[in-house]
Amino acid sequence: MEYSCQTYQLKCNECGRTYGNRPLSGCPECLAPLEIHYDFEAIQKQTPITRQSIQNGPHNIWRYAAMLPIPEGFEPDLPVGFTPLIRAKNLGKRIGASNLYVKNDSVCFPTLSFKDRVVSVALANAQKFGFKTVGCSSTGNLANSVAAQAARLGLDACILVPADLEPAKILNTLVYGARLVRIDGNYDHVNRLCTQIADEYAWGFVNVNLRPYYAEGSKTQGYEIAEQLGWRLPDNVVCPMAGGSLIRKIRKAFNELIALGLVEDKPVRFFGAQATGCSPISQSVRQGWDYIEPQRPNTIARSLAIGNPADGPAASKMIRATGGWAEDVSDVEVVSGMQELAESEGIFTETAGGVTTAVTARLYAQGRISPDETTVVCITGNGLKTTDALVGRFDHLDARAVRPRLSDFADYLRELDGVTENELVAAD
Amino acid sequence: MEYSCQTYQLKCNECGRTYGNRPLSGCPECLAPLEIHYDFEAIQKQTPITRQSIQNGPHNIWRYAAMLPIPEGFEPDLPVGFTPLIRAKNLGKRIGASNLYVKNDSVCFPTLSFKDRVVSVALANAQKFGFKTVGCSSTGNLANSVAAQAARLGLDACILVPADLEPAKILNTLVYGARLVRIDGNYDHVNRLCTQIADEYAWGFVNVNLRPYYAEGSKTQGYEIAEQLGWRLPDNVVCPMAGGSLIRKIRKAFNELIALGLVEDKPVRFFGAQATGCSPISQSVRQGWDYIEPQRPNTIARSLAIGNPADGPAASKMIRATGGWAEDVSDVEVVSGMQELAESEGIFTETAGGVTTAVTARLYAQGRISPDETTVVCITGNGLKTTDALVGRFDHLDARAVRPRLSDFADYLRELDGVTENELVAAD
């Protein structure tokens, strides 16, 4: 269960030991997390990476394959990623931002979240390692993506989730034929169990023993942001935080683009967003800690409900090093954030996106981000997965049905919100 | 409320009268539907349309702007369309097809259905005509798309739906701030009422007074299929039918590509899919009628539940003229079709997609399509909008929660489906 590769391999963050390529997430010597280390000199010698070579690639994350841990001979099967980067003028007007963008992974292929990026890279390696069964611990989006992509690749899937997960996310896992196990506990319990299972069974857990490969998939969001801005970096990135991995990997992506000479070097500040009901990283940033204090999650933003985030300390340090900041918002603000983004930009995001939108608004209000700076807000999942969060907001869901007659309609409309008289003119 | 244009205008299908560009769907003289007529000679003189000119365009439907009724000076605002065309090997194996493709509009931007295509073209014209309020009658997907895109464009939206619409589709309309009116009746009642409202109020109804513009947006699905197949036409297209417009417009798109010399001329057969509980067009095809007999819809495939489809007779004639066929399937088969597609290709589609998948399987089983022919199945919407249809299928939704211990997990797994002994080896 290993393969050799000229251009990348596992390397310990702490002691610097290297481990080739195998399903392993922590250094056996010093227990620190392993990451993928690239030999970009060797890569550039093989086939130089240029803006043009990337643009000649397919319109999905595989255009960046040379910068990802993708085994030789791998044939991309699914057109994952390359989601829209939208100029958010309306939202900008509402919150006082004149140069705001939304990176919209709520329409990522195939399962409508940024997790599709990480899963596709992890499963490319799972296949290479020869795993027949893959799995994950998940707060929902990851479950959906592993189940869907495993089905497509003909792999068995076994997925573990906290028992209180949203019904839409459970259904959207089962439908692909995956085995789903509801665990009586929160994400942190589920994750610990998965670590034990991965040691015991010959299974590839994308976010456990395949984690170093998996995590690299997040870089593609950073590559896309830079390319979609016309090969330049933004001034600020606002990113939701669960395990703390995504925000770090976007920065890693930017740094690689700089090192490869594909974008100009410039400072980028990173801002983290959490829900107050689970805010260990934002607390750490605000307190100036080098560690995080684990929390017991209690928030409707379930996809961010990781109380003991693996990459929390590193994310906290990184954010402060870039001159950024982190904030957390209440569940009421989360729902308002979802509505704010939908009403202004027509983007229906899940609770995590409500968190990010609400935090972004607060960062502008606090003056931490100046109006004219180029700021990218990362929206990572789709609102149809967390409809429960909104149900209470609309009386209208049970509004009375109107008879199909023009006079009844006119009466109802007056009742609803008053139609102005000048609307009542014939159309032509 | 009109504009002039050198390259396209409204024209009556029957009497051939032309009407310039204005919000009008039927010929005032002979009452037949109006369609957009293009002067491709003039278009080619202005800026020749070539494969290269299209490929140089943006990676969305606006790359085809020259072949759409898009007013001069319109600046595309949203990256709609260019959804994945997926080689469906697994589904093909299950149903005996060796050259099967899925056109996957379940991940269309921004609201996860092919309606995003038609709405964006309709609203480009609504703005040009000066409408401040837009609306539609809808079975759900259209409602979502009009609400979202109107929000983004700063237009007011008023949307009418049958009272029994799925909650997810209602919520996914309200969240954008649209006015939503539930009508006590089925789609056909709603649609008739909208026709009256459009006459009475100065509103642009995308599928009523803007219908000729709206309908042209569907052509982009056909353009994309041909381009994604490497600028060639498939042998067969299987397409869901509600109003009967999409299937006709895909054919129109193919014919235009042939006329412009962008693809080789070849026969393409069109196959229509409906749910038995609302199957007026499939009935018409199978009976060999030139008309359709309206039905009272009764099916879980609500987005196809149009009992009196405006383009039904024309679709029926067209299907038979191409040597195609139509079938309808029961609600049980609809749900099986949804699961079939999810389990084999990792694509979670709504009930309408279940209809199309089940009908496709039947067409192969009947021998109406030969295994090696290139066949494209049009999947038009996302499964997260119709989760209700699946809930009964999974006991598992309420499965007991397992304690987060390895031994409990192992017991549960044995209980669930029996783990084979050889899975129980250490990973490395």
Give B104-163 as a DSSP string: EGGG-TTTSBTHHHHHHHHHHHHHHHT-SEEEEE-SSHHHHHHHHHHHHHT-EEEEEEET
Query: Do residues A8 and A90 share a domain?
Result: no
Question: Which helix (H) or strand (E) element contains residue B102?
Answer: strand B100-104
Query: Do residues B90 and B41 share a domain?
Result: no
Contact A346 B176 (CB under 8 A): yes
pLDDT value of residue B415: 83
- Residue A289 carries which side chain, given as an amino acid letter? W
Exposure string over A209-248, b if 16+ CB within 10 A, otherwise e? bbbbbbbbbbbbbbbbbbbbeeeebbbbbbbbbbbbbbbb
Q: Which of residues 303-342 of A touch B (CB under 8 A)?
A: 338-339, 342
Q: What pTM, to 2 d.p., does this model score? A: 0.94
pLDDT tens, position by position, A236-263: 999 999 999 999 999 999 999 999 999 9
| β-pairing verdict for B100-104 and B375-379 | parallel
Contact A193 B406 (CB under 8 A): yes
Average pLDDT over residues A154-181: 92
pLDDT tens, position by position, A52-102: 999 999 999 999 999 999 999 999 989 999 999 999 999 999 999 999 999
CA distance B245 to A99: 40
CA distance B233 to B257: 9
Q: Which stretches of chain B drop beneath a pLDDT of 50?
A: 419-428
Query: Do residues B376 and B272 share a domain?
Result: yes
CA distance B126 to A21: 56
User: Residue B303: inside a domain, yes or no?
Assistant: yes
Q: Calculate how close chain B gets to A297, using CA atoms only, in Å.
A: 17
Write out the two tokens for A102. 């939304």
pLDDT value of residue A29: 93
pLDDT value of residue B113: 97
CA distance A234 to A227: 11
Alpha helices (H) along B245-330: 245-259, 280-287, 312-321
Contact B339, B358 (CB under 8 A): no
Q: Is B73 on the interface with A (CB under 8 A)?
A: no
Q: Is B152 on the interface with A (CB under 8 A)?
A: yes
Question: Which helix (H) or strand (E) element contains residue A253?
Answer: helix A245-259
Write out the two tokens for B356. 């199309």
Q: Is B385 on the interface with A (CB under 8 A)?
A: yes
* pLDDT of A200 over the 60 cut: yes
pLDDT value of residue A416: 78
Write out the two tokens for A51. 């803006």
CA distance A381 to A384: 9
Instruction: Decide which of A420 and B118 is more confident.
Output: B118
Write out the two tokens for B139. 């079975």
* CA-based nearest residue in chain B for residue A346: B148
Contact B403 A179 (CB under 8 A): no
CA distance B291 to B277: 19
CA distance B48 to B304: 38
* Of the partner residues A147, A345, A425, the one whose CB lies closest to the CB of residue B152: A345
Q: Calculate how close chain A gets to B289, using CA atoms only, in Å.
A: 30
User: Residue A326: inside a domain, yes or no?
Assistant: yes
3-class secondary structure, A51: helix
Contact A151 B111 (CB under 8 A): no
Query: Do residues B40 and B90 share a domain?
Result: no
- Number of domains comprising chain B: 2
User: Residue A422: inside a domain, yes or no?
Assistant: no
pLDDT value of residue B397: 62
User: Residue A120: inside a domain, yes or no?
Assistant: no
User: Residue A164: inside a domain, yes or no?
Assistant: no
3-class secondary structure, B282: helix
Average pLDDT over residues A339-362: 98
Q: Is B350 on the interface with A (CB under 8 A)?
A: no
Contact A190 B404 (CB under 8 A): yes
> Number of A:B CB contacts under 8 A?
278
Query: Do residues B249 and B307 share a domain?
Result: yes
Cα-based angle B372, B245, B180 (whole degrees, multiple of 5): 125
Contact B342 A148 (CB under 8 A): yes
* Of the partner residues A23, A90, A412, the one whose CB lies closest to the CB of residue B428: A23
User: Residue B225: inside a domain, yes or no?
Assistant: yes
Test the B interface: residue of A129, A149, A409 with most B CBs within 10 Å = A409
Q: Is A174 on the interface with B (CB under 8 A)?
A: yes
Instruction: Decide which of A178 and A199 is more confident.
Output: A178
Query: Do residues A105 and A4 share a domain?
Result: no
Q: Calculate how close chain A gets to B395, using CA atoms only, in Å.
A: 10
Query: Do residues B269 and B347 share a domain?
Result: yes
ipTM of the complex: 0.93
* pLDDT of A8 over the 60 cut: yes
CA distance A145 to A121: 12
Contact B417 A192 (CB under 8 A): no
- Chain B positions touching A202 (Cβ under 8 A) are 423, 425-427
Smallest CA-to-CA distance from B122 within B224, B201, B215, B18 is with B215
pLDDT value of residue B209: 95
Q: Calculate how close chain B gets to A312, using CA atoms only, in Å.
A: 23
Q: Is B63 on the interface with A (CB under 8 A)?
A: no
Query: Do residues A32 and A103 share a domain?
Result: no
pLDDT value of residue A77: 86
- Chain A positions touching B200 (Cβ under 8 A) are 406, 424, 426-427
CATH number at residue A269: 3.40.50.1100
* pLDDT of A396 over the 50 cut: yes
* pLDDT of A428 over the 70 cut: no
Query: Do residues A98 and A41 share a domain?
Result: no
Contact B167 A387 (CB under 8 A): yes
* Of the partner residues A149, A184, A384, the one whose CB lies closest to the CB of residue B384: A384
Write out the two tokens for A280. 């260990």
pLDDT tens, position by position, A93-131: 999 999 999 999 999 999 999 999 999 999 999 999 999
pLDDT value of residue B391: 83
Q: Calculate how close chain A gets to B320, using CA atoms only, in Å.
A: 34
Query: Do residues A236 and A310 share a domain?
Result: yes
* CA-based nearest residue in chain B for residue A177: B343
User: Residue A12: inside a domain, yes or no?
Assistant: yes
Query: Do residues B231 and B337 share a domain?
Result: yes
Domain span at residue A23 reads 1-48
User: Residue A161: inside a domain, yes or no?
Assistant: no
Locate tokens 């001329």: which residue? B265
CA distance A312 to A285: 10
Write out the two tokens for A100. 């705001």
- Chain A positions touching B406 (Cβ under 8 A) are 193, 196-197, 200
